[in-house]
Amino acid sequence: MSDNPYLDELNAEGPSNAPAAANANPYLEALDSDQKAPQRQSNLIDATRTNPDEYARARQLEGATGVPAPVVQRNLPAVEERAKLDQATRDVESSPTLANHVADNPDFAKLASDDLGLLANLGNSFKRGWRALKQTVPVIRALDSASGLSQLNAIDRGEITSPDQLGVIGEAYLRASPEERKAIRANYGQGLAENFGSSVSTVANLEAQKRDFPQPASVGKVMSAKTFKEAVKLIGQHPLDFTASVGPESFMQSIPGMVAAVPAGFAAGPAGVMGAMGGNSYITDFSSQFLQELQDNGVDVSNQAALTAALQNPQLLQTAIDKAGKHAEIVGLFDALSGGIASKVAVPQKIAGRYLTKPLAREAANMAVQVPVQGALGAAGEAGGELNAGDNLQPGQVLAEAVGEVGGAPSGARSAGARWIPRQAPGEQWDTDDLG
């Protein structure tokens, strides 16, 4: 080995009849290596003086703040404090309720400072879900009024000449004389118009309120994902954001079905539960999908004038009704099936009878089985609804339904079948051990 690396390369090469590889010049490589030595040594010296964990954190803060990582590292405590304050400010500003709590209670702000984002997402999700639920009835009323008015107008234009697809009022209007039609318009028609205007106003106002409680940007990215792989990856980056934003909103809209399932279950057993939960899902899903279809067609449903115009467009109205109905019928079917399963103990009888002799133990085991089953049924219903409506699968929506059903599974199962509680015979004393 000599002190000259070029001579070393010559000696190592030796004689060869094989053609030299393209762009392979050992002399130039040795020269390049020699020229890079100072920079390599400088980088190693810098690396040994750097805390890897601190630098990794600096890289993260670089993405969040836009400040170069080396600058962040030299001022790490100050930049971290500033970034935390900025994030807390964004979290609080996204939730009016949380903002009021922070303003009114300094102790709350200190105790909850690490969880402000989670609290904001949970609160906003509940509020969106409550307003979506409140939209259901006025959406149905608006559609009923719009349909009635549309029939009267179509009869006047001569587009409807047969009573086959008309209701009682429509048929009477079709057969009425011009003077009688004026009277029907003055009475029935005026009521339809007033009901229509009131319902549309309510729907638009509630939609505007929902937008005051936004979803995190990370959830929006999941909903826009083109593939399930992409959606799962995005959820994995912010799992709490997704769960907190989707779960409560779905749960709020399922409350009427769970409440109705209790008396329905006692009156008609599993069939009653299935009817209550499936029927509620159909109605609430139809309402939300109808509004979503309008939005997909460029209608701002938070604007009363735009919503009114859309509901007075026969082609758009019929298309939205058809697609919403096709989506809702599959979702309702799967949720009915979900309600039927929730009304039963999902643990095999042989296992339950042998190992789960106490009711509370059986209930805990049942929940462990019910949760993934309910999530799978929710996802299947959403996927089936999208396909039945003629849409492409939306991975984010399918996964959101799975998460929403998982969140409501314990409550759904309890409301659908809390029949493990033994009935007390007259004069009988319960052994508290029977309750677990």
Average pLDDT of the chain is 81
Q: Are residues 133 and 234 in the same domain?
A: no
Q: Where are the alpha helices (DSSP H) in 157-227?
A: 168-175, 178-184, 190-210, 217-223
- Of 162, 194, 212, the last residue of a domain is 212
Contacts of 427 (CB under 8 A, 6+ apart): none
Residue 230 lies in a domain: yes
Q: Are residues 222 and 164 in the same domain?
A: no
Q: Are residues 203 and 232 in the same domain?
A: no
Q: Are residues 379 and 271 in the same domain?
A: yes
**Domains identified in the chain, total number:** 2
Contacts of 316 (CB under 8 A, 6+ apart): 294, 297, 299, 310
User: Which pLDDT band holds residue 353 (cuts at 50, 70, 90)?
Assistant: low
Q: Which of 27-36, 163-172, 269-278, 351-360 has the lowest mean pLDDT?
A: 351-360
Q: What is the pLDDT of residues 301-316, one digit of tens each?
A: 999 999 999 998 988 9
CB-hemisphere CA count at 13 Å for 410?
7
Q: Are residues 206 and 238 in the same domain?
A: no
Structure confidence at residue 392 (pLDDT): 93
For residues 279 and 414, the model is more confident at: 279
Residue 137 lies in a domain: yes
Q: Are residues 129 and 244 in the same domain?
A: no
Q: Are residues 375 and 245 in the same domain?
A: yes
Q: d(Cα 298, Cα 226) in Å, to the nearest integer?
A: 21
Residue 35 lies in a domain: no
Q: Which domain holds residue 122?
A: 76-212
Residue 361 lies in a domain: yes
Q: d(Cα 433, Cα 160) in Å, to the nearest integer?
A: 70
Q: Are residues 262 and 198 in the same domain?
A: no
Average pLDDT over residues 285-308: 95
Is this model's pTM higher than 0.85 or not? no
Q: Are residues 166 and 288 in the same domain?
A: no
Residue 261 lies in a domain: yes
